[in-house]
Every structure is written in structure tokens, then in C-alpha cells.
Amino acid sequence: MTNGRKREYELLDRVRDGRPMSGRERLELIVRLSIPSILAQLSVIVMLYIDASMVGSLGADASASIGLVSTTTWLFGGLCSAAAVGFSVQAAHRIGAGDYAGARSVLRQGFVATLLFGATVAAVGCAVSGPLPMWLGGNAEITADASRYFRIFALSLPLLQLNYLSGGMLRCSGNMRIPSLLSIIMCVLDVVFNALLIFPTRTCTVAGWSFALPGADLGVVGAALGTALAEGVTALSMTAYLWFRSPELALFRERGRFRPTVRCLREALRTGLPVGGERVIMCGAQILTTVIVAPLGSAAIAANAFAITAESLCYMPGYGIGEAATTLVGQCKGAGRRDLMRRFARTTVWLGMGVMAFMGWVMYVAAPTMMGVMSPDAEIRAFGTAVLRIAAFSEPMYAASIVAYGAFVGTGDTIVPSCMNFLSIWLVRLPLAAWLTPHCGLQGVWIAMCIELWFRGTIFLVRLLRDRWPL
């Protein structure tokens, strides 16, 4: 075990054992848990950038075919993530209380329940893959590729579900490094697989040396297959580490019951259903936004999808800090340390807001370069640069909502935050977008988003800072 990992265990033991922690120790633990997760999130964004540039080189229609269904892939992936949260939060509470056998019992039950759920969601995805692009308003030039892309994604959902569960369990045990390292490896594999599957065999030259790089010339289908293969390798590797190597959760030496109990399922549903509802709410709104954007044409669809990818460079650090907040707040609850739970929640939120404010400034300055990396099309780059500079002003308050939500999830408090997300996006963002888009085009969609994120961040801060939380 490295010195850094030993230090993390020492600090986490202070949480679990009820020992006092100074402000400096709390901040050190937050940073130690956040950095690996942030690096993993950023590696995913780099992967998305490279994917976008690879597909973008095929033309605007190829980019639009993926962009059209991207929000729906987030919806299905979000449901799988929510199913995993229902079990990983239970494990965090038990680990915080020192009940490692109980945490492993939750893990065994989680494997069965979530894989059945993932298979069900995959079947639904395959069933809707044909008509989905037409439902979203796509034109004839892009619907066939969009349908094939989504069908391959749907078939990979059981592996994605396994990845979410194994990664979530490791993170809730305090192990951020292995999931982060494997996420980085997944990004590298995705680039390699995409290079081999998207393009035809071609001649490459490196340092004066020419060689033939094989390729399957599958285009958009190759992009879907490359991502699915990378996710599959990562999911199996993550699960193998969890099963055989995790100090807190390894199952291979211990026999136990895999059949889910009513009590465990009830607790998973109590936590996971609101999270799943929140994912449906958020992604449903994003799908409706895609419907609003679709009549603006292929360039606008592609620019909107690329700008979302580019913006994620800013907000993924917030999600990394939010994962640390879930782990720390969850273990504090299990240990019965209410005051420490409140301190961790507030410190992670302020840290997330600071990091994302800086990233918003970077995005504003670098917007033309960020869009230029993903597409050679001048119209797409112009659309994307304009909307990214609008989004830059919303990043600090977006961080407040992301990290505060992570803290709430750590306590199992998910119903009210999910309702807050619903009210914000459906009563503020979507009506504003529908009103502004006919007058402002794609920029109107992003102005509406910016206004809504400031509103959402404010209501999350109010709830987090009031004396009655945690409940």
C-alpha cells in the first residue's frame, strides 16, 4: 500500500472511529478523495473529445446522428447509475458503522438485482431503437445511423450496469484510485478501438516511418462498438478487483446469500427510486431540448451535442467532488457523526464552486479552440463557441447543485433534492427554452439553461445551509 493510500485510510478511520478531525484534516481528506475522481472524470471528457473529433471528421450528418440520441443514452445510463446508488449508499453506511460483513452482504444482493435491472433496461432500449430517432425529430439523412448507434449502446447496458455498481461500491468504501485508474484505461481503450473500427485501413506516418493501420470502416457503428468494448473491459476489470482485492468488500473468501432480501431491496428502492426519477426528469428534459433544437438543422444539433461535451470539461470536476461528498457524508452518517457530516457537506460544496468557477473562466477564453478540436465545420464551431461562452457564467452555481446533491445522496436523502431538480428544470429551463429558441435560435436554449442553473444552485445552497439539514 502506498503512503498516500495509507494516509487516506488513516483519515477515514478517524471518521469511522469517532475521533476528532481538524479543518485541515477534513480538507486534506476531501482533496485526496476528490482528485482521483476528478482525473477519472476528466479522462472521460478527453475520451469524448477524441470520439467527437473522430466522428466529426466524417461530416455533420455523422455527428448529428450521435448527437440526436446522446440525451437518450444519458437517460438509460442514468437509470443504471441510479440502480447502483441504491446499493452503494447502503454499503457506505455499513462501512461507516464498521459493519463490513453487512456491506459485503449488500454487495452480493446488489450484483443480482442490478444485473437483472440492466438486462431489462437493455431490452427496452433495443425495442425502441428503431423509431427513436424519428420520435426525436431527426431527418432522413441521420435516422438510420442514429438507430444503429443506440441499439449497440442498449446491448452494452448490462456491462455498463456492472461498471456502475462495482465502481460505486469501491468509491463508497473510500477507494477512489482504482475506479479512477480503470476509467483512464477505458478512455485509452476507447480511442484505440474507435481508431480501428470507425475508419478504413489507411497509411500512417510517424517520425518518417510509414505503416498500414488496419480499420473496419464502420463509421458511426464503429464508434458505438468501440465504446461498448472499452466499457466491457473496464467493467470486468473493476468487478475482478472488487471481488478479489478490495480490503473492505472482497467476496471470494466468504460465502453468503446472493438472493436479494426484501429489506435490502426496500432500502435500495427508497434511495434509488428518487435518484432514478431525477435521472428521468433531467434526461427527459434534455431529450425535449433535443426536440426543440432538431428543427434548427444538422449543424445546430451537432453544435449542441459538441458544446455539451465541451462544457462537461468544466462540470465533471464538480461531479468528482460530489462523489467524494457522497462517500464522506455517507460514512459519517453510518458512524453517527452528524456535525462532521455537515462540515464535510459544506466544505465540498465551497470547493466545488471554486473549482468550477475557474473552469468556467477557462471555457470562456478557450471556447473557439475547444470547438475547433471537435469539428472542422465553421458553422458548427461558430454555434458552439457562442453557447459555451453563455454556459461559462453558470458554472459556480451548477457546482453548488451537483456537490450538494452528492452530499444529500450520501445520507439517503434523495426525494426532496430530486423534486427540486424537477421543479427547476421543468418549470424554469424548458419554458424559457421554448420561448427563447424561436427568437434566439440555439443561443436561446443555452440562455435558458444558464438562468435555470443559477436558480437551481440557489435553492440547493439554501437547503444545505439551513439549520434543519441533515434531516
* Residue-level length of the chain: 471
Q: Name the DSSP letter for residue 210.
A: E
* pTM assigned to the model: 0.77
* 272 part of a folded domain: yes
* 22 part of a folded domain: yes
DSSP assignment string, 31-68 = HHHHHHHHHHHHHHHHHHHHHHHHHHTT-HHHHHHHHH
Nearest to 65 by CA among 190, 292, 219, 220: 220
> 375 and 344 in contact (C-beta within 8 Å)?
no
* 470 part of a folded domain: no
In the prediction, which pLDDT does 38 show? 77
Residue 268 C-alpha cell reads as 435500495
Q: Domain limits at 230?
A: 3-465
* 459 part of a folded domain: yes
* 285 part of a folded domain: yes
In the prediction, which pLDDT does 399 show? 94
Q: Distance (Å, rounded) from C-alpha 469 to C-alpha 471?
A: 5
Nearest to 63 by CA among 376, 391, 319: 376
Nearest to 385 by CA among 364, 360, 368: 368
* 471 part of a folded domain: no
Residue 201 C-alpha cell reads as 485501413
Nearest to 308 by CA among 288, 330, 331, 290: 290
In the prediction, which pLDDT does 376 show? 76
- Residue 213 backbone dihedrals phi, psi, to 5 degrees: -100, 115
- Each residue's pLDDT expressed in tens, for the chain with a length of 471 residues: 556 567 777 877 777 777 878 888 888 888 887 877 777 767 666 666 666 667 777 777 787 787 778 778 878 888 888 899 889 989 988 988 889 999 999 999 999 999 999 999 999 999 999 999 998 888 888 889 989 999 999 999 999 999 999 998 998 888 888 888 898 888 889 888 988 998 888 777 776 777 777 888 888 899 889 989 999 999 999 999 999 999 889 988 788 888 999 999 998 888 888 878 777 777 777 777 777 887 887 778 778 877 887 887 788 888 888 888 888 888 888 888 888 888 898 999 999 999 999 999 999 999 998 888 777 778 888 888 999 999 999 999 999 999 999 899 888 888 888 889 888 988 999 899 889 988 888 889 899 999 999 999 999 999 998 867 665
Helix or strand run (H / E) with residue 253: none
Q: Distance (Å, rounded) from C-alpha 300 to C-alpha 294?
A: 7
In the prediction, which pLDDT does 48 show? 62
Query: What total of structural domains would you count in the chain?
Result: 1
In sequence order, which residues have a C-beta less than 8 Å from that of residue 208 and are 6 or more positions away? Answer: none
* 59 part of a folded domain: yes
* 53 part of a folded domain: yes
Please give the single-letter amino acid code of residue 417: P
